């Protein structure tokens, strides 16, 4: 039996209001060639009518798998998709996002053989539309790609070769926020061939309920805590790193430290919680390990604010 080129993995948790749009973006394309893909819909313990809505959309479609499981979070749902997929490449499509109209026409005209391929995307909301693109690059190790090229941490603007993920046992951490960041740190560390393509293949819809846009302080604090967990696990990778791997992990730690600090200050989290988290971070790394200009610029933004400077330097002096 010939395996499809793509396995499109769509986690579902209480998304009955827009799952039809997401599934439609896959099947409502002209000349897409049904043999080139399969769709895995992972119902991650939804408490609304998500599964019923999805099944209604998929009536008479043979290349769709609907899997229902107890809630494991976004990472756990994606892992179920990885395990049950058969495609050469995996595409992680969130239920509130869509494929561009000519996705399959574009992809079927290309030949891919890399471990990870990064693509451009649209970001949209009711009042916002922006296109993000990446240049065409030659394939290179994932370490070199991150240290020398522009990339984002999302798992949803990339193709991942299934054999590569399974062989290196690359799965998402369950029940954490920022799971894409943690996953990609390990994936790019292991990847031998990574490139970007100057193609826009996805449309991401900005949600008012996202971690960065909602007003739930507890969710924001969980995000900060989970990033700290990722910092700790990344430091553990340093114990067996060698050569370029060390610089790569140092850069990743710099980005994690700096971005978490920016998130804390930007969201004005409770003072005692802020101090606790900043003390957990190794802020010295954010000064001495800035490998890219954009990270240095983030530090300058922090230091341009007098209150931010005071908090930061007091914490450094206490170490």
More confident residue, 263 or 38: 38
- Report the C-alpha gap between 225 and 95 in whole angstroms: 26
The pLDDT-based confidence of 125 (bands split at 50, 70, 90) is confident
More confident residue, 60 or 280: 60
Q: Backbone phi, then psi, for 44, in 5-degree steps? A: -95, 60
pLDDT of residue 272: 66
Q: Which residues contact 22 (CB under 8 A, 6 or more apart)?
A: 10, 15, 93, 94, 95, 96, 97, 98
Q: Which two tokens stand for residue 172?
A: 């998402």
Residue 289: count of CB within 10 angstroms of its CB: 19
The pLDDT-based confidence of 17 (bands split at 50, 70, 90) is very high
The pTM of the full predicted model, rounded to 2 decimals, is 0.87
Torsion of CA 95, 124, 172, 4, to 10 degrees: 60
Architecture of domain 6-205: Alpha-Beta Complex (3.90)
For 159-175, what is the mean pLDDT?
A: 97
CA distances from 278 to 122, 138, 290, 303, 319 (A): 34, 39, 18, 15, 11
pLDDT of residue 284: 45
pLDDT of residue 281: 56
More confident residue, 269 or 69: 69
For 48-71, what is the mean pLDDT?
A: 94
Q: 161 by DSSP, 3-state: which?
A: strand
pLDDT digits (tens, 9 = 90+) for 135-144: 999 999 999 9
pLDDT digits (tens, 9 = 90+) for 236-253: 999 999 999 998 998 898
Q: Which two tokens stand for residue 109?
A: 């005209």
> Which is it for the CA torsion 241, 112, 30, 134, positive or negative?
positive
Q: 1 by DSSP, 3-state: which?
A: coil
Name the burial class of residue 319, with classes exposed (0-12), middle (13-18) and buried (19+) by CB atoms within 10 angstroms of its CB.
Answer: exposed
- Report the C-alpha gap between 218 and 220 in whole angstroms: 5
Q: What share of the chain in percent tops pLDDT 90?
A: 61
Contact present, 146 and 234 (Cβ < 8 Å): no
- Report the C-alpha gap between 281 and 78 in whole angstroms: 29
More confident residue, 304 or 200: 200
Residue with tokens 């509130």: 96
Residue 23: count of CB within 10 angstroms of its CB: 25
Specify which residues 123 forms β-bridges with: 130, 204
Q: Where are the domains of the chain?
A: 6-205, 217-318
CA distances from 207 to 63, 96, 123, 302 (A): 29, 8, 10, 27
Q: Backbone phi, then psi, for 287, in 5-degree steps? A: -95, -40
Name the burial class of residue 118, with classes exposed (0-12), middle (13-18) and buried (19+) by CB atoms within 10 angstroms of its CB.
Answer: buried
Task: Count how many residues are written for the chain.
Answer: 319
Task: With a cut of 60, say whether residue 36 has pLDDT above it.
Answer: yes
Task: With a cut of 80, say whether residue 301 has pLDDT above it.
Answer: no
Chain-centroid distance of CA 71 in Å reads 19
Task: With a cut of 90, say whether residue 293 has pLDDT above it.
Answer: no
Residue with tokens 């969130």: 94
pLDDT of residue 311: 58
Q: Which two tokens stand for residue 68?
A: 């229902």
Specify which residues 196 forms β-bridges with: 118
pLDDT of residue 261: 76
Classify residue 157 by its DSSP letter. Answer: T
């Amino acid at each position: 039996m010939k395996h499809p080129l793509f396995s499109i993995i769509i986690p579902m948790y209480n998304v009955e209001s827009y799952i039809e749009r997401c599934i439609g973006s896959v099947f409502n394309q002209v000349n897409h060639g049904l043999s080139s893909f399969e769709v895995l819909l992972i119902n991650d313990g939804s408490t609304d009518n998500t599964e019923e809505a999805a099944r209604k959309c998929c009536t008479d479609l043979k290349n769709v798998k609907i899997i229902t499981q107890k809630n494991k979070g976004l990472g756990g749902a994606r892992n179920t998709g990885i395990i049950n997929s058969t495609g050469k490449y995996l595409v992680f499509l969130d239920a509130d996002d869509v494929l561009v109209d000519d996705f399959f026409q574009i992809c079927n005209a290309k030949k891919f053989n890399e471990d990870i391929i990064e693509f451009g995307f649209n970001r949209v909301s009711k009042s916002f539309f922006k296109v993000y693109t990446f240049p065409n690059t030659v394939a290179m190790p994932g370490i070199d790609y991150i240290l020398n090229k522009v990339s984002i941490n999302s798992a949803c603007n990339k193709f991942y070769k299934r054999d590569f993920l399974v062989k290196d046992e690359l799965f998402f951490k369950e029940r954490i926020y920022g799971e894409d960041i943690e996953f990609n740190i390990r994936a790019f560390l292991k990847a031998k061939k990574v490139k970007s393509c100057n193609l826009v293949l996805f449309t991401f819809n900005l949600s008012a309920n996202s971690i960065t846009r909602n007003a739930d302080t507890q969710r924001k604090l969980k995000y900060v805590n989970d990033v700290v967990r990722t910092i700790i696990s990344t430091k553990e990778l340093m114990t067996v790193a060698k050569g370029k791997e060390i610089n790569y992990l140092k850069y990743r730690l710099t980005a994690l430290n700096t971005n978490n600090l920016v998130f804390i200050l930007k969201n004005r989290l409770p003072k005692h919680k802020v101090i606790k988290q900043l003390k957990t971070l190794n802020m010295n790394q954010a000064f001495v390990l800035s490998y890219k200009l954009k990270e240095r610029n983030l530090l300058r933004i922090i230091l341009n604010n007098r209150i931010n400077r005071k908090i930061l330097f007091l914490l450094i002096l206490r170490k």
